[in-house]
Amino acid sequence: MRTALRPLALLIAGTLPAAASLAETAAATLPTVVVTAEGEGNEQVAKRGRAGLLGERDVLDQPFSIVSYTAQRMRDQQAVTLAEVLGGDSSARFTGQIGGVTDSFFLRGFPVNEGNLSEVALDGVYGVSPNYHLFTEYLERVEVLKGPGALLYGMSPNSGVGGVVNAVPKRSLRHDLTRLTFDYASDTQFGTAVDVSRRQGDFGIRFNALHRQGDTPLDKQEARAEVAALALDYRGRRLRATLDLIGQYRKIDAPTRPFLVSPGLPVPAAPDGRRNVTQEWGWWRSSDVSTLGHVEYDLSDRVTVFADLGAAKSDVGRLSEQTPTILNAQGDTSATPTHFKFQINRAAADVGLRAALRTGQVEHALVLMANAYHDRLANASNAGTIIRSSIYAPVAVAAQAVPEPARVPKLSESTLSSLAVADTLAMFDGRLQATLGLRRQSVESENFHAATGLRTARYDETAVTPLAGIVFKATPRLSLYANHIQGLSKGDIAPNTASNAGQVFAPYKSRQVEIGAKSEAGGLLATLAVFQITKPSGQLYGTVYSPDSEQRNRGLELHLSGSVAPGVRLLGGVTLIDGELTRTNNPATLGRRPPGVARAMANLGGEWDAGPVTLTGALTYTGKEYVDQANLQSVPSWTRVDLGARCTTVVAGRAVTLRAGLMNAFDRRYWGGVASYGTLSQAAPRTVQLSAAIDL
């Protein structure tokens, strides 16, 4: 635990100055934070969710599709990171690898969290979460808002438009809690976690810590995680404030990497999930420190001002093969071991005002907001010599002494700032609600030459994104809704090979149109949505680079959660997506399906209280996915079955919860995901999970 506590102790010295520096030049707002205590509402999915600056509301009052997975769900699922949490949502698919270096996803068929800048918001704020993995020990909820969210959250740091993942940290409870959890995962991963909550009057504290270490189910791989998270809060009559401090350390020996496939080669059958091509002497280390402060004050019963200030720092070192390429049908691979060092600094600030007004018979919920986000990315690498191996029979070679980079130069720096206003108008006793909003977003970024430090490119553009949403509550338990909302991606700079080299294009605007219905009946919450998202991008026409290519995803989603009979609960959904490259300059790709976008995805999870034991099961299906834009390479559909059981009993006067899980119960071999840039992820093998939680 010492390694995790050390970065936490350095947090104030390392990250608060960065946040303070940003606050001198920019400020912004985020909505009031309202956290539901454990045990309230649906055990698996919360009935309330946040929609960025609009704040937290009942999902039936939101003109968007939002799912909020609870801490109880994460514990019962024995989820380790966001990868497992979002894996239970039919609109999301994990495109990284278990045992890999990052949690990346597709949401509604578009990439989120690919790259080295996290696109996961922490308590509604971009730029302050741990960068590559978020552990569930310190999370109260994981909220998934589906579709573009530029108006609601501001522009995503890595230009994701498929949705927004917001991680809500744990807060102190009304009752004292001291919980110890011991867990095991095959092959020999052992973990210990502590969760402590105390409250004295208006002041509260929540502390979570984790140590987990041992061999994973993958050959040659050993992993270690250490986490410490401290949450402080004050809940006065008019003043409320929170402070979150997170430190985490992650170490993986022989980390897995995604695979490329040689052009034109049919994708070989997936290997045994235990096979690990990475050399035993390869390694990956990351250290994250994060801090976020929030304060809000009621000027009156109807007017509240609020502000957030936070920062995060990530240091990463890695020596392993860089994206092995599959060369032939026999599964032979070629990869070059590379010694990388990354330094990632991010900070965010926001300030704003929320007011409840009335004009005639119309109630207004008005929000004014300004925000700023800043990131700095530095990295360097040294390469070794090529290693030949195989996905079916990995070859061990002697360790290469690839030197560590002597320096880590700054490669890029970006600042995203915006002003936003939104108003939700409620009429007819709240049965009809209309939301209108605008955000003016500015994007500034610079790229630098690694050797000289000179600026190689500069980007400075502004765009305005609107929102229009409507909710009609046909009955108190049935809502019909629609929205038109936009997402933003940084526009391109024409490459040096173009005749218009250096030309800067305005930010790309992705557009979503969505209609849907939500109902709550008999303990079952259901959402049905139909949507279309168009995302433009750039391409080279002859010698001229133009921003006129486009991907269009049309889809239908059904999501269910809650009780269907006494002692029986369901959680799942179905997502159908018609993805198409609607504009390209290549006849071979025009009209084709985008890489990684399956036509159909489905999840069905169930729980049955069989006496003192609850039996659980989950089925996950993903349809065929293409690897390349020409649709010449593909991976087949796959289905995975997970099984589990849990029971709560009393031992020596203490509540004890025992859980057991069998992931990928039938040890299915399959390619688990395809990233937007055409890499394949190997699925994890059958894995046993056991845990015992004791409330002291």
Confidence of residue 457 (pLDDT cuts 50, 70, 90): confident
Q: What's the mean pLDDT in 371-383?
A: 96
Nearest-angstrom CA–CA distance, 126 and 118: 8
Contact 124, 30 (CB under 8 A): yes
Q: What's the mean pLDDT in 158-178?
A: 95
In this predicted structure, which of 166-175, 204-213, 500-509, 678-687 has the lowest mean pLDDT?
Answer: 500-509
3 state SS for 223-272:
EEEEEEEEEEEEECCCEEEEEEEEEEEEEEECCCCCEEECCCCCCCCCCC
Is the pLDDT reported for residue 28 higher than 60?
no
Q: What's the mean pLDDT in 42-51?
A: 88
Supply the DSSP symbol for 403.
P
Confidence of residue 502 (pLDDT cuts 50, 70, 90): confident
For 26, phi then psi, to 5°, come to -155, 155
Confidence of residue 20 (pLDDT cuts 50, 70, 90): very low
Is the pLDDT reported for residue 544 higher than 90?
no
Q: What's the mean pLDDT in 610-635?
A: 96
Nearest-angstrom CA–CA distance, 679 and 628: 9
Tokens of 542: 């002859």
Nearest-angstrom CA–CA distance, 693 and 658: 7
Confidence of residue 33 (pLDDT cuts 50, 70, 90): very low
From the list 646, 643, 640, the residue with the least C-alpha distance to 685 is: 640
Q: How many helices (H) and strands (E) does the chain have?
A: 5, 37
Contact 269, 669 (CB under 8 A): yes
Q: Identify the structural domains of the chain with CATH numbers, from first to last.
A: 48-369+378-695 (2.40.170.20)
Nearest-angstrom CA–CA distance, 120 and 142: 10
Burial class (CB in 10 A: 0-12, 13-18, 19+), 22: buried
Contact 40, 174 (CB under 8 A): no
| Dihedral angle, C-alpha 345, 122, 160, 464, nearest 10 ° | -90
From the list 633, 635, 631, the residue with the least C-alpha distance to 623 is: 635
- For residue 23, the model assigns a pLDDT of 38
Supply the DSSP symbol for 11.
H
From the list 169, 279, 266, the residue with the least C-alpha distance to 220 is: 279
Using alpha carbons only, give the angle 525, 47, 567 rounded to the nearest 5 degrees.
55
SS3 content of the chain, % helix, strand, coil (to 5): 5, 60, 35
Nearest-angstrom CA–CA distance, 55 and 39: 22
Q: Tokens 């976690």, residue?
A: 193
Reported residue count of the chain is 696
- For residue 366, the model assigns a pLDDT of 97
Query: Is residue 75 helix, strand or coil?
Result: helix
Contact 348, 373 (CB under 8 A): yes
Nearest-angstrom CA–CA distance, 77 and 56: 25
Supply the DSSP symbol for 159.
-
Which of 40-54, 103-117, 539-553 is modeled with the greatest confidence? Answer: 103-117
Please give the distance of CA 446 from its chain centroid, rounded to a whole number: 25
Q: Encode pLDDT of 238-290 as tens digits.
A: 999 999 999 999 999 999 989 999 999 999 999 999 999 999 999 999 999 99
Contact 164, 52 (CB under 8 A): yes
Burial class (CB in 10 A: 0-12, 13-18, 19+), 376: middle
- What 634-639 contacts at long range (C-beta under 8 Å, 24+ apart), as own/partner pairs, is 634/267, 635/267, 635/270, 635/670, 635/671, 635/674, 635/680, 636/670, 636/671, 637/598, 638/668, 638/670, 638/671, 638/672, 638/683, 639/668
Tokens of 557: 């989603």
Contact 109, 96 (CB under 8 A): no
Nearest-angstrom CA–CA distance, 211 and 4: 9
Nearest-angstrom CA–CA distance, 192 and 182: 5
Q: List, in sequence order, every beta strand (DSSP E) within 115-238.
A: 120-122, 139-146, 163-169, 177-185, 189-200, 203-215, 222-235
Contact 469, 481 (CB under 8 A): yes
Burial class (CB in 10 A: 0-12, 13-18, 19+), 621: middle
Q: Encode pLDDT of 305-322 as tens digits.
A: 999 999 999 999 999 998
Q: What percent of the chain has pLDDT over 90?
A: 84
Question: What residues form DSSP beta bridges with 238?
Answer: none
For 82, phi then psi, to 5°, come to -60, -25
pTM: 0.91
Which amino acid makes up residue 112? Answer: V
Confidence of residue 152 (pLDDT cuts 50, 70, 90): very high
Burial 242-272 (b: 16+ CB within 10 A, else e): bebbbbbbbbbbbbbbbbbbeeeeebbebbe
From the list 343, 408, 404, 445, the residue with the least C-alpha distance to 14 is: 343
Contact 66, 51 (CB under 8 A): yes
- For residue 42, the model assigns a pLDDT of 56
From the list 520, 530, 527, 606, the residue with the least C-alpha distance to 559 is: 527
Q: Encode pLDDT of 646-689 as tens digits.
A: 999 999 999 999 999 999 999 999 999 899 889 999 999 999 99
For residues 153 and 502, the model is more confident at 153
Residue 601 neighbours by CB distance under 10 Å: 26
Q: What DSSP line would sit under 410-431, residue for residue?
A: EEEEEEEEEEEEEEEEEETTTT
- For residue 3, the model assigns a pLDDT of 40
For 87, phi then psi, to 5°, come to -65, -15
Which amino acid makes up residue 470? Answer: I
- Report the mean per-residue pLDDT for the chain: 91
